[in-house]
């Protein structure tokens, strides 16, 4: 019996990162892939399964068979090509975007999941329904369209039963969006020829399901659809024993990933690594799972497989704690009448509330981990099939242990997962690092991880954002890299030049040609690159030009793989100071006095001075000037415009490490995006006395920046201090901080720069959901008293002072119930106490344990949460500044330290206040990173730096370097 499977890909489909909008479901020309194979799977004379025949041809609609003219299903070209060639493809669902995470966090998650698959060597196939059409391999624009519909009543949660309805409505002219559930995604993935599917949690038998018959369609789909699903078991509020019984009845293989554990392994329960129910079967490596899938293919079993992957240990919520929250949520759901498809969303939402938001990062982490291991399984399956298809010419991976044990996974699966390689060899992917192929024909060629299909070895000279080519390199032959389509190669070549590294700056013309051939506005079949010979010639030209000269990397541009002691994520901008400077005119009767201010509605003579500013830049520059031997990295973004080029050139002249600078334009990370921002600029118009008359600021770029997690992880590696300013949106701040904590195992200290009264509140927004000590996100902040008040108000309005954990810490501080006004007045002043500065600091301490409030001429107020073993608690010299001591025996809290440090100088000859607070923080962080004690001496030095900037026309005084010696003389902590 011969079966045929047809794929259809519109010309606007996603081509390995290049996306376009499909305005018509039936294009004038389409790519169709027919796969014919025998379903009986008999072996040939040499004991091998039959080789699949693949035909690729272009057809116009009138040439298509009638059944292929349907409007219901579109598969992107890269997914269709990958399936036809046997490349590893991972299906991804979309219900988590439409009915799980809110917008825009759902977009961020979707892009991160796809990036994880690509990074590990697979091809993502996000499945969803957009405008009434099922799409396999959503483009970025389609993901945003679908995710932005989250929460709208017309957005459907699409299971198998709903597919005919939503597609039929689309054919009728009613274009609906829908997120596909596990069941629907499995069904569609099977039709598209995709074997592996990564998701969060599986549906199951609801509690009381023996009476209500409330059983998820996911289970029946697993019983009849041959797709392997990787999830963290079923959702923890379900009846797990009955779910396993049901899966057994359906003939579904259920295996749990041991993750380095030995002995009896329990089935995971979504948020928890254990469920109290023993797993029926266990697997140790992705290769073992791939073998099971292939065995099912050979035996022609029609049921699916469930591979349960436990949540990463650091995100796991104890089962006992989850059981309490789940029982209450399930009980409330029953009391309020939530049944059927409304039951799960209500329970998940209630669990989020009952766990004080801890379930959200846990949910995200387990999805990322599941997708990562699903990709590894897909890669192994692809190797096995290729090995058997090619007659054993390429040896598949052996049954080696995977590098995914508890220790290796602690930083998070997306940061240190192994990627299968040749037999007996393990390669470990580290984001941001370039790698050298070990095969002879590629020896010495350093390329991004996405281009590698062989064993990898880190090259100390380069990173994934750079390309280092020794003078003697054999030009790569695309045939050796497997059957990759032209756009995939072009995308990867483009990735090499996107950062404008000095080695390949002379490739601009070639780069434009590569990029232009892959624009979605041009059908790829009309591309100038029509065959491999032409592309080989272009690749060879690329390498010839790149190897024409091999200069040494500039000293100020260390490789991305190197670590920086201090990393600053913040704004950078071109500052233009326009000082009104009219020509002198004699005083007359009609003009009794010289004009002091610029005139409106006309041109004015001015002295215009450009400089590089921005809070992040100012802090990083201040740190650099006084840090001595410590390395500093600025992470920010500029547009591909004149102002952006000016900033990059200026940063190089200042000697700042710019490997953290993102240059945004039409092409970002190999993807066309509707994001072509203007570089930030600030223009100040001053009068003759240099007092500000009018200012204009264009800082929108920082509201729209998107930093990928793997990119952040590579920039903050092994850093001692991280500084984040409030110019970014709350979800970006949260991402930067949490990735840093995971990447460096909570060893990096993190400071928050509030920037302004309005932006300072972002750190206490509901999107960040900060947790009290010891799970605090930030260690230190330096607000002025206005910013402190705004932060306090935001925390109060968002209910952060109502959690049990916050009250436990406040109770442990030992402050008398009658209040501490007298102590506040004694330690600060009546004025500051009346303004609420000490009280506001105390109430924010559980979230940020060290707060240095800048008070201008009154100095700096330091409020710090002390641990029980802090030596200041027993030092007689520090006794006057101990506001309170813990009196309830807490093992985490020792007391509160509060001290007002007087201003080192009251400055009369102020030149500019711009950058004063940034300088203070920069000098402070430089001292702390050098191991200096946070006390009067260090704070005085930081204040001196601020005074120097007050007397400078620059945002950071260029004379700041004289403070190096003073920092050297300070006492180490």
Distances (CA, A) of 247 to 194, 220, 377, 828: 21, 8, 21, 67
Cβ proximity of 341 and 381 under 8 Å:
no
Cβ proximity of 494 and 529 under 8 Å:
no
Count CB atoms within 10 A of the CB of residue 407. 11
Burial of 869 (0-12, 13-18, 19+ CB in 10 A): exposed
Cβ proximity of 848 and 778 under 8 Å:
yes
Cβ proximity of 637 and 466 under 8 Å:
no
HEC-encoded secondary structure of 899-949: EEECCCCCCCCCCCCCCHHHHHHHHHHHHHHCCECCCHHHHHHHHHHHHHH
Using DSSP's 3-state secondary structure scheme, residue 92 falls into: strand
248 as an active site residue: the answer is no
Cβ proximity of 236 and 266 under 8 Å:
no
Distance in angstroms (rounded) separating the CA atoms of residues 122 and 608: 53
Which residues make beta-bridge pairs with 570?
A: none
* Structure-derived torsion over alpha carbons of residues 854, 857, 858, 861, reported in degrees to the nearest 10: 20
HEC-encoded secondary structure of 682-696: EEEEECCCCCEEEEE
**Length of the chain counted residue by residue:** 973
Cβ proximity of 716 and 567 under 8 Å:
yes
Which residue out of 235, 352, 932, 944 is catalytically annotated?
A: 235
352 as an active site residue: the answer is no
Burial of 526 (0-12, 13-18, 19+ CB in 10 A): exposed
Nearest Cα neighbor of 777 from 797, 796, 763, 759 is 763
* Residue 230, φ and ψ in degrees, nearest 5: -105, 120
Q: Six-digit token pair at 940? A: 């005085």
Using DSSP's 3-state secondary structure scheme, residue 347 falls into: helix
Q: At what angle do helices 105-120 and 730-743 cross, to 10 degrees?
A: 40
Which residue out of 93, 114, 435, 858 is catalytically annotated?
A: 93
Q: Report the run of H or E that residue 879 belongs to, with start and end.
A: none
Which residues make beta-bridge pairs with 575?
A: 611, 682
* Residue 5, φ and ψ in degrees, nearest 5: -125, 125
Instruction: Quote the distance between the C-alpha of residue 595 and its chain's center.
Output: 53
Cβ proximity of 188 and 180 under 8 Å:
yes
Question: Pairing state of beta strands 456-463 and 433-437?
Answer: antiparallel
Nearest Cα neighbor of 252 from 272, 280, 284 is 280
Instruction: Quote the distance between the C-alpha of residue 417 and its chain's center.
Output: 16
- Beta-carbon contacts of residue 354 (< 8 Å; ≥ 6 apart): 324, 325, 328, 329
HEC-encoded secondary structure of 817-842: CCCCHHHHHHHCCHHHHHHCHHHHHH
Distance in angstroms (rounded) separating the CA atoms of residues 38 and 19: 35
Catalytic residue annotation: 93, 235
């Amino acid at each position: 019996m011969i079966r045929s499977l047809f794929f259809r890909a519109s010309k606007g489909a996603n081509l390995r990162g290049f996306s376009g909008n499909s305005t018509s479901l039936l294009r004038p020309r389409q790519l169709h892939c027919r796969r014919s194979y025998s379903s009986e799977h008999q072996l040939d004379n040499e004991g091998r399964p039959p080789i699949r025949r693949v035909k690729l041809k272009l057809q116009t609609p009138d040439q298509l068979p009638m059944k292929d003219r349907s409007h219901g299903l579109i598969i992107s070209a890269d997914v269709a090509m990958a399936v036809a060639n046997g490349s590893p493809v991972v299906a991804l669902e979309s219900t988590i975007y439409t009915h799980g995470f809110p917008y825009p966090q759902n977009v961020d998650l979707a892009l991160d999941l796809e990036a994880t698959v690509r990074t590990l060597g697979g091809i993502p196939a996000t499945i969803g329904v957009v405008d009434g059409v099922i799409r396999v391999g959503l483009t970025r624009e389609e993901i945003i369209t679908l995710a932005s519909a989250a929460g709208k009543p017309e957005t459907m949660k699409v299971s198998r039963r709903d597919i005919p309805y939503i597609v039929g409505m689309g054919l009728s002219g009613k274009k609906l969006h829908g997120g596909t559930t596990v069941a629907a995604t499995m069904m569609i993935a099977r039709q598209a020829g995709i074997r592996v599917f990564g998701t969060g949690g599986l549906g199951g038998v609801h509690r009381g399901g023996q009476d209500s018959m409330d059983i998820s369609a996911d289970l029946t789909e697993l019983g009849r659809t041959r797709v392997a699903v990787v999830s963290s078991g079923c959702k923890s509020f379900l009846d797990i024993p009955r779910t396993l019984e049901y899966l057994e009845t359906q003939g579904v293989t259920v295996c749990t990933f041991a993750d380095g554990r030995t002995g009896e392994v329990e089935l995971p329960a979504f948020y928890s690594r254990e469920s109290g129910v023993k797993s029926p079967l266990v697997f140790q490596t992705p290769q073992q799972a791939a073998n099971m899938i292939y065995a099912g293919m050979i035996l022609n079993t029609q049921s699916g497989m469930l591979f349960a992957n436990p949540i990463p240990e650091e995100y796991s919520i104890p089962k006992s704690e989850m059981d309490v929250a789940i029982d209450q949520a399930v009980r409330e759901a029953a009391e309020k009448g939530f049944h059927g498809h409304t039951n799960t969303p209500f329970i998940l939402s209630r669990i989020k509330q009952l766990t004080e938001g801890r379930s959200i990062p846990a949910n995200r982490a387990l999805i990322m981990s599941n997708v990562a291991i699903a990709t590894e399984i897909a890669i192994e399956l692809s190797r096995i099939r290729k090995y058997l298809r090619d007659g054993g010419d390429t040896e598949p991976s052996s049954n080696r242990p995977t590098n995914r044990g508890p220790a290796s996974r602690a930083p998070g699966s997306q940061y240190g997962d192994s990627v299968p390689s040749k037999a007996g060899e393990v390669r470990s992917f580290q984001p941001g690092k370039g790698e050298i192929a070990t095969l002879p024909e590629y020896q010495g060629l350093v390329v991004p991880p996405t281009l590698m299909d062989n064993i990898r070895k880190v090259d100390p000279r380069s990173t994934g954002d750079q390309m280092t080519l020794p003078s003697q390199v054999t030009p790569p032959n695309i045939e050796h890299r497997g059957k990759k389509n032209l756009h995939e190669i072009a995308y990867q070549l483009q990735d090499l030049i996107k950062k404008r590294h000095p080695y390949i700056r002379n490739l601009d013309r070639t780069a434009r040609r590569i990029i232009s051939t892959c624009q979605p506005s041009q059908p790829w079949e009309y591309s100038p690159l029509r065959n491999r010979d032409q592309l080989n010639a272009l690749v060879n030209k690329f390498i010839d030009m790149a190897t024409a000269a091999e200069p040494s990397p500039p000293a100020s541009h260390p490789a991305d793989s190197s670590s920086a002691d201090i990393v600053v994520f913040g704004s950078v901008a071109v500052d233009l100071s326009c000082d009104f400077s009219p020509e002198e005119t004699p005083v007359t009767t009609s003009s009794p006095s010289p004009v002091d201010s610029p005139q409106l509605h006309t041109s004015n003579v001015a002295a215009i001075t450009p400089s590089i500013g921005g809070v992040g830049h100012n802090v990083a520059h201040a740190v650099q000037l006084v840090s001595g031997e410590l390395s500093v990295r600025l992470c920010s973004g500029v547009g591909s415009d004149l102002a952006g080029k000016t900033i990059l050139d200026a940063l190089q002249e200042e000697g700042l490490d710019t490997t953290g600078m993102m240059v945004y334009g039409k092409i970002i990370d190999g993807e066309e995006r509707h994001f072509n921002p203007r570089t930030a600029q600030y223009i100040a118009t001053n009068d003759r006395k240099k007092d500000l008359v009018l200012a204009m600021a264009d800082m929108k770029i920082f509201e729209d920046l998107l930093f990928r997690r793997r990119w952040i992880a590579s920039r903050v590696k092994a850093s001692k201090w991280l500084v984040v300013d409030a110019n970014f949106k709350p979800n970006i701040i949260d991402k930067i901080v949490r990735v840093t904590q995971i990447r460096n195992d909570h060893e990096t200290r993190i400071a928050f720069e509030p920037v302004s009264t309005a932006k300072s509140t972002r750190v206490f927004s509901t999107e960040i959901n900060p947790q009290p000590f010891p799970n605090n996100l930030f260690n230190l902040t330096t607000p002025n008293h206005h910013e402190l008040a705004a932060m306090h108000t935001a925390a109060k309005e968002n209910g952060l002072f109502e959690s049990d954990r916050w009250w436990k810490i406040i109770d442990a501080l030992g402050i008398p119930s009658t209040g501490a006004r007298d102590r506040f007045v004694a330690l600060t002043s009546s004025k500051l106490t009346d303004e609420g500065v000490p009280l506001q600091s105390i109430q924010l301490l559980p979230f940020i344990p060290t707060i240095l409030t800048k008070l201008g001429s009154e100095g700096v107020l330091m409020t710090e949460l002390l641990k029980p073993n802090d030596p200041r608690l027993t030092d007689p010299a520090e006794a006057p500044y101990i506001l309170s001591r813990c009196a309830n025996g807490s093992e985490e809290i020792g007391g509160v330290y509060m001290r007002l440090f007087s201003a080192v100088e009251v400055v009369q000859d102020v030149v500019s206040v711009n950058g004063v607070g940034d300088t203070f923080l920069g000098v402070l962080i430089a001292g702390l990173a050098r191991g200096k004690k946070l006390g009067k001496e260090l704070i005085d030095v930081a204040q001196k730096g601020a005074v120097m900037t007050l007397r400078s026309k620059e945002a950071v005084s260029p004379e700041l370097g004289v403070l190096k010696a003073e920092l050297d003389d300070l006492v180490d902590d």
